[in-house]
């Protein structure tokens, strides 16, 4: 029973994340296009700049809902552990690079790359955590 409800949660999660990613690209394209053509400033400029972040924030909320919906304790633990390893590694990289940026002028790492970096670390640690429990 729990397994069947988890399957439904997994599919819901996949569809929602896919929708968020598609929406992100639409918003990003619209934002870049309007900045290139109309050069918006002030509140409008800030509002447009924030637009592509909204679907990604939605994806984070979707991940939280998915975590809350998961009934299978084992899969829940795997996901939580991979997320914690992911944020640990992301913080380790950003703090090290941050000090290098501050003191020895290495190239600036744009903030919008932090989310993808977290996703990559989470994916890698997801595999490693799974291997640990084999």
Binding site for other proteins (CB under 8 A): 31, 35, 45-46, 48-53, 56-57, 60-61, 63-64, 67, 80, 83-84, 86-88, 91-92, 94-104, 108-115, 118
Least CB distance from residue 31 to other proteins, whole Å? 7
From 66, 68, 60, select the one nearest 119 (Cα to Cα).
Answer: 60
Nearer to other proteins, 4 or 132 (CB): 132
Nearer to other proteins, 3 or 39 (CB): 39
Nearer to other proteins, 4 or 16 (CB): 16
Least CB distance from residue 33 to other proteins, whole Å? 12
Least CB distance from residue 101 to other proteins, whole Å? 6
Least CB distance from residue 124 to other proteins, whole Å? 16
Q: Cα(first)–Cα(last) distance of the chain, in Å?
A: 24
Residue 121's CB is within 10 A of a number of other CB atoms, namely: 21
Burial category of 70 from C-beta neighbours within 10 Å (exposed 0-12, middle 13-18, buried 19 and up):
buried
From 58, 110, 111, 120, select the one nearest 85 (Cα to Cα).
Answer: 120
Nearer to other proteins, 12 or 97 (CB): 97
Q: Where are the beta strands (DSSP E) in the chain?
A: none
């Amino acid at each position: 029973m729990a397994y069947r409800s988890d399957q439904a949660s997994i599919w819901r999660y996949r569809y929602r994340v896919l929708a968020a990613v598609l929406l992100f690209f639409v918003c990003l394209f619209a934002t870049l296009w309007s900045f290139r053509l109309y050069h918006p400033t002030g509140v409008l400029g800030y509002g447009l700049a924030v637009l592509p972040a909204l679907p990604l924030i939605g994806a984070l909320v979707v991940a939280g809902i998915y975590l809350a919906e998961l009934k299978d304790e084992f899969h829940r633990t795997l996901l939580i552990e991979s997320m914690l390893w992911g944020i640990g590694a992301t913080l380790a990289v950003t703090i090290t690079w941050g000090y290098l940026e501050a003191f020895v002028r290495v190239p600036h790492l744009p903030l919008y790359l932090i989310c993808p970096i977290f996703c990559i670390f989470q994916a890698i640690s997801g595999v490693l955590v799974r291997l640990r429990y084999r």
